[in-house]
């Protein structure tokens, strides 16, 4: 059964990857030559969602619970929510170029999910609640719609900056694209080191217990006041270069902080290589894909993503979350780091809707807000989940 589950996961990844490639082909082909490609692109993405559902059902059968209880399961479900939201919005607007950006993001998210341990473990008492699954899945579906809104906003920015009308926004757009490259770099590095079986481990004190913290990437940073147990050599480097600060006490915080550093380093190296070869900004590379689009349509799609995601996120991240928190910990709200960040995210999108509907913030302002909102979500997913200690540290 486990083999079937893994094969379904690989099948999902392949379908998303091929769909991404076909969508890019559609975005660069003429209308007369791309009719078959257009149909194939959306069929592949739908097939990927179907196989993804089969993967989740298989995992439920094996583990006995809905697969959203750890980082691998949540990010894989967020990937599913992203593609599902894209298919819904595509059915309304039929914008194929959107898929040329959404599907590669789905591939990156699923690759990022695969970095984390995929073994199925018994749930701790706090996770043994149906409200947890309702809370997490609803919030993730809202975040998937926000991600599509972000992509549409990003395409809008590439269109406006690429044609030279908004030069003041160019450096900020390029910085945003570099952050995406960092996520790609981290996924590539992690998968490569996992493939070659790299291992490192350190022993250190957590409360009154001796804990062994394992690494899947060469250690740039070690746990605070730790001692190396095993460190495989990578080229001539063994490391680490320094220790994590003492306040970084989340679950395996040092190894996760090490992963964040690797993502930044590899992303910057990839970007430097690209610039050395192409000698132009990333948004200039992407502009030919979007130059024929209607900017007003992109603006509307970006707003539609928020309009769909906002009520889902409100229910999942706030209302259902408070019901689960009351059941798990005896209080509906406690300003845990994850709770605080969920509230910040909700306030941000509330401000987005207010500024757009009441203040007329459309176009560039709306696009930047859509992109900024998903950056906040990714900060929550990467930094808050991985580094900062709290009641949600089991994730």
Q: Any idea how long the chain is?
A: 395
Task: Give the whole-number percent of the chain exceeding pLDDT 70.
Answer: 93
Note whether residue 230 is domain-resident: yes
pLDDT exceeds 80 at position 81: yes
Q: Please tell me the predicted confidence (pLDDT) of residue 211.
A: 83
**Mean pLDDT of the chain, nearest integer:** 87
Read off the pLDDT of residues 152-176 as tens digits, 9 standing for 90 and up: 999 999 999 998 877 889 999 999 9
The closest alpha carbon to 113, from 16, 248, 1, belongs to: 16
Q: Please tell me the predicted confidence (pLDDT) of residue 91.
A: 94
Note whether residue 182 is domain-resident: yes
Which band of pLDDT confidence, cut at 50, 70 and 90, is reported for residue 33? low
Q: Please tell me the predicted confidence (pLDDT) of residue 390.
A: 47
Calculate mean pLDDT across residues 42-69. Answer: 90
Which band of pLDDT confidence, cut at 50, 70 and 90, is reported for residue 139? very high
Calculate mean pLDDT across residues 118-135. Answer: 76
Q: How far apart are the C-alpha atoms of 71 and 139, rounded to whole Å?
A: 15
Note whether residue 61 is domain-resident: no
Calculate mean pLDDT across residues 332-349. Answer: 85
Q: How far apart are the C-alpha atoms of 82 and 146, rounded to whole Å?
A: 8
Beta bridge partners of 228: 202
Note whether residue 2 is domain-resident: no
Report the domain count for the chain: 1
Lowest mean pLDDT among 25-29, 77-81, 220-224, 381-385: 381-385
Going edge to edge, which strands form the sheet with 227-231?
209-215, 200-206, 227-231
Lowest mean pLDDT among 44-58, 143-157, 187-201, 296-310: 187-201
Q: How far apart are the C-alpha atoms of 200 and 238, rounded to whole Å?
A: 9
Which band of pLDDT confidence, cut at 50, 70 and 90, is reported for residue 385? low
Q: Please tell me the predicted confidence (pLDDT) of residue 394.
A: 47
Domain, as residue range, for 181: 173-282
Q: Please tell me the predicted confidence (pLDDT) of residue 263.
A: 87
What is the token pair recorded at 199? 């291992």
Note whether residue 177 is domain-resident: yes
Beta bridge partners of 169: none
Note whether residue 197 is domain-resident: yes
pLDDT exceeds 60 at position 391: no
Calculate mean pLDDT across residues 318-332. Answer: 83
Calculate mean pLDDT across residues 15-41. Answer: 85
Note whether residue 264 is domain-resident: yes
Residue 381 DSSP class: I
Q: Please tell me the predicted confidence (pLDDT) of residue 273.
A: 95
Note whether residue 103 is domain-resident: no
Q: Please tell me the predicted confidence (pLDDT) of residue 249.
A: 63
pLDDT exceeds 60 at position 393: no
- What is the chain's alpha carbon radius of gyration, rounded to the nearest angstrom? 21
Residue 390 DSSP class: S
Q: Highest-confidence range of 67-71, 237-241, 371-375, by mean pLDDT?
A: 371-375
Which band of pLDDT confidence, cut at 50, 70 and 90, is reported for residue 27? confident
């Amino acid at each position: 059964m486990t083999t079937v589950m893994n094969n379904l996961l690989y099948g999902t990844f392949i379908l998303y990857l091929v769909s991404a490639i076909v969508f890019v082909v559609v975005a660069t082909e003429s209308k007369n030559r791309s009719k078959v490609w257009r149909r194939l692109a959306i069929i592949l993405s739908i097939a990927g969602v179907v196989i993804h559902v089969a993967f989740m059902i298989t995992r439920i059968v094996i583990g006995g619970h809905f697969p959203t209880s750890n980082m691998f399961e949540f990010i894989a479900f967020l990937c599913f929510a992203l593609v599902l939201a894209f298919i819904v919005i595509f059915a309304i607007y039929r914008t194929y170029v959107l898929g040329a950006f959404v599907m590669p993001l789905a591939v990156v998210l699923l690759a990022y999910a695969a970095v984390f341990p995929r073994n199925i473990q018994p749930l701790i008492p706090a996770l043994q609640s149906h409200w947890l699954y309702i809370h997490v899945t609803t919030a993730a579906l809202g975040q998937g719609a926000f991600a599509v809104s972000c992509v549409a906003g990003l395409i809008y920015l590439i269109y406006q900056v690429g044609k030279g009308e908004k030069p003041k926004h160019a450096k900020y757009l390029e910085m945003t694209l570099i952050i995406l490259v960092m996520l790609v770099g981290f996924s590539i590095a992690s998968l490569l080191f996992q493939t070659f079986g790299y291992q490192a481990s350190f022993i250190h004190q957590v409360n009154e217990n001796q804990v062994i913290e394992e690494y899947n990437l060469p250690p740039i940073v070690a746990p605070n006041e730790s001692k190396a147990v095993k460190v495989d050599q990578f080229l001539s480097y063994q490391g680490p270069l320094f220790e994590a600060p003492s306040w970084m006490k989340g679950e395996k915080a040092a190894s996760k902080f090490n992963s964040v550093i690797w993502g930044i380093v590899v992303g910057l190296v990839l970007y430097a290589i690209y610039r050395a070869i192409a000698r132009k900004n990333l948004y200039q590379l992407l502009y030919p894909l979007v130059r024929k689009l209607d900017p007003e349509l992109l603006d509307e799609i970006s707003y539609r993503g928020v309009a769909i995601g906002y009520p889902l996120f409100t229910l999942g991240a706030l209302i259902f979350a408070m019901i689960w928190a009351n059941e798990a910990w005896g209080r509906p709200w406690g300003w845990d780091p994850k709770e605080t960040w969920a509230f910040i995210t909700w306030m941000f999108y509330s401000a987005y809707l207010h500024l757009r509907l009441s203040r007329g913030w459309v176009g560039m302002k709306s696009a930047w807000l859509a992109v900024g909102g998903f950056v906040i979500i990714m900060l929550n997913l990467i930094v808050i989940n991985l580094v900062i200690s709290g009641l949600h540290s089991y994730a």
